[in-house]
Amino acid sequence: MLRIIKRFELTQNPKADILSGITVAFALVPEAIAFAFVAGVEPLVGLYAAFIVGFITSIIGGRSGMISGATGAMAVAMVGLVMFYGVEYLFAAVVLTGAIQIFAGIFHLGKFIRLVPHSVMLGFVNGLAIVIFLAQLGQFKTMAAADTTSSHDGHSAIGVMFNGGWMQGIEMYLMVGLTLLTMAIIWLFPRIPKLGKLIPASLASIFIVSALVIGLDLDTRTVGDLASVAGGFPSFHIPMVPFTFETLIIILPIAFTLAAIGLIESLLTLTLIDEITETRGRTSQECIGQGVANTTCGFFGAMGGCAMIGQSMINIKSGGRGRLSGITAALVLLSFILFASPLIEMVPLAALTGLMMMVVIGTFAWASIRIMKKIPREDAFVIILVTAITVAHDLAIAVIIGVIVSALVYAWKSAKHIWIVEGRSEKEGHKVYMLHGPLFFGSISGFKDMFDPKNDIEQDIILDFRNARVWDHSALEAIDALAAKYKEAGKKLHLVHLSLDCQLLLKNAKDMIEVNMIEDPHYGVIVDYADTVETKS
């Protein structure tokens, strides 16, 4: 039995996982309600999503200890669909989102997260930390101002700073004081001998600050001021939309957007936790887990979600490592909805705000500031760029742009690392060019400038690819063009040590290839499939 539990990654420390899960459940409540408001749906729609996504991904997801639920990144993408077509279309879109994510897992598309450079990861972490921080500033505003922000600000991360409505006087002082007290307890509690190991500092801070507010009857905002968390068990519900092609056209773009946002945020969070815990998650399984969770959400009247870096960091910092922590968080959240809503609604928002502020401090990659002058300027630019776009616009777009910029920088640098070494052959009248470096679309211009077919004295030119690699279709075209020029000049070009892929795909130079089955390299060339078929036929 213990072997099965360990293999399933259920838990290695039940006490730590259960207490950590309880802590996370408290933090999930205000976040789920806030994101529901952003998406334009009822609070219970967000709370049900936090329960369903959290529970299912904790069981069949690809990473133990990671927490999933309703997220702001996906909520922002949902608001337009809800506004124009209604919540039922959202449920249908979430079902389709889950199906897309399941297919992504089946076809192992999650492995492409490995292509995200470390500089993009740093920008993602820093940007998300800033977004979490700015989101907490909304708790320092009056109820009227907070409602206005939730209703009209699609991405309120920056807007929350400039649309006014801040608390005044005693109300503000009390909110700030209780928030700072919560942060101080979280920082000091682990340093108390024995007591620090008895209960997670985050959970202790919630209990202490809540008891203080209730005992002294302090007038400060609570979870209940946001919305009621009381409700029943989520019931099966087929989205009430016309099952027509027109409906598919409406929800398909949103579904792809939600699927992309959800998988990018989940897989980047998975990668981050891998680094922190020095373990390895399974990307394809996580894609399937997220897909099953979102499909279930759509059929149970929930808004869907993905991995949550803030709550995942709370879980990891509180000692949660096994799947039991996520399962506990989901079940405790459901118990809040079913049985304990009056008690949960008494928890002061200041306690949860202080908890999230400590998450911000722990999430931000402070080392990235110190290394800015030590790393290449291009990497520093990518870190700042991804951070800025994440805060100002959207996580998924920020990561995609960061990867594209990093790829272009890499291509530009690689294009400069190609050269030739001239030599003589043992045969009379033969000249050898030893090509070094990658030959691809970025380097073909330099490749063409290295040769002068009309002025080459020798009649036989040997172009040796032993120390080079042909990467793409542009490189093949450049080789073909060079062969044609030598042919026009009345000279013969010998191409040696080309891979089998190159030999099959070249057209004009096909008769100039010298095959050496022992020494010829083996690698694939990235080309258009139609061109490949045409050439081979």
Largest CA-CA distance found in the chain, in angstroms, rounded? 101
> Which of 129-138, 184-193, 520-529 shows the lowest mean pLDDT across its residues?
520-529
The pLDDT assigned to 530 comes to 40
Name which of 243, 257, 231 is nearest 42 in CA terms: 231
Mean pLDDT (whole number) for 447-473: 88
Q: Which residue's entry shows tokens 């989101």? A: 135
Residue 532 in this model has a pLDDT that exceeds 60 = no
pLDDT category at 10 given cuts 50, 70, 90 is: confident
Q: Is 444 exposed, middle or buried (0-12, 13-18, 19+ CB in 10 A)?
A: buried
Among 168-177, 202-211, 451-460, the least confident range: 451-460
User: Is this model's pTM higher than 0.95 or not?
Assistant: no
Of 10, 56, 3, the residue nearest 334 (C-alpha) = 56
Q: pLDDT per residue over 270-279, tens digit each?
A: 998 998 888 8
How confident is the model over 84-102, as a mean pLDDT?
Answer: 96
Q: What's the confidence (pLDDT) of residue 198?
A: 73
pLDDT at res. 147: 57
- Residue 304 has a pLDDT of 93
Between 265 and 142, whose confidence is greater? 265
Per-residue pLDDT band for 251 (boundaries 50, 70, 90) equals very high
Nearest partner of 72 among 157, 141, 139, judged by Cα: 157
| Residue with the larger pLDDT of the pair 234 and 521 | 234
What amino acid occupies position 355? L
Residue 155 has pLDDT above 50, yes or no: no
Pinpoint the alpha helices (H) of 278-319.
283-299, 309-317
Give the tokens for residue 126: 């820093």
Instruction: Domains for the chain: give ranges and CATH numbers.
Output: 13-230+243-366+377-405 (no CATH), 419-536 (3.30.750.24)
* Residues 309-341 pLDDT 10s: 889 999 998 889 999 999 999 999 999 999 988
Residue in this structure with the two tokens 């279309």, named with its chain if needed: 89
Enumerate the β-bridge partners of residue 61. Answer: none
* H helical segments located in 216-282: 223-226, 245-277
C-alpha distances in Å from residue 515, one per residue of 433, 479, 518, 524? 17, 16, 9, 17
Task: Kindly tell me if the per-residue pLDDT of 104 is higher than 70.
Answer: yes
Rounded Cα distance, 123 and 117, in Å: 10
Q: Count Cα neighbours of 220 within 13 Å in the Cβ-side half-sphere.
A: 29
pLDDT-based confidence at residue 4 (cuts at 50, 70, 90): very low
Centroid of chain to Cα 215: 42
Region at 437 (left for phi over 0; alpha for psi -120 to 50; beta for the rest) = left
Mean per-residue pLDDT, 498-527: 76
Distances (CA, A) of 16 to 7, 190, 270, 322, 441: 18, 14, 20, 9, 53
Average predicted confidence (pLDDT) for the chain: 86
Partners of 496 in beta bridges: 464, 514
Distance CA 445, CA 428 (A): 31
- Half-sphere exposure (Cβ direction) of 365: Cα atoms closer than 13 Å: 21
The reported pLDDT for the residue numbered 216 is 92
In this predicted model, which residue has the larger pLDDT, 332 or 161? 332
The mean-pLDDT minimum among 219-233, 332-346, 366-380, 420-434 falls in: 420-434
State percent of the chain over pLDDT 70.
90
DSSP state of 114: G
Angle at 27 between CA 263 and CA 102, to 5 degrees: 20
Where does the pLDDT of residue 533 fall: very low under 50, low under 70, confident under 90, or very high at 90 and above?
very low
> In 3D, which of 34, 57, 25, 76 has the Cα closest to residue 296?
57
Task: Find out whether 41 and 303 touch, Cβ atoms under 8 Å.
Answer: yes
pLDDT at position 8: 65
**Residue 151: phi, psi to the nearest 5?**
-80, -35
pLDDT in tens, 371-420: 998 899 999 999 999 999 988 877 778 888 999 999 999 888 888 889 99
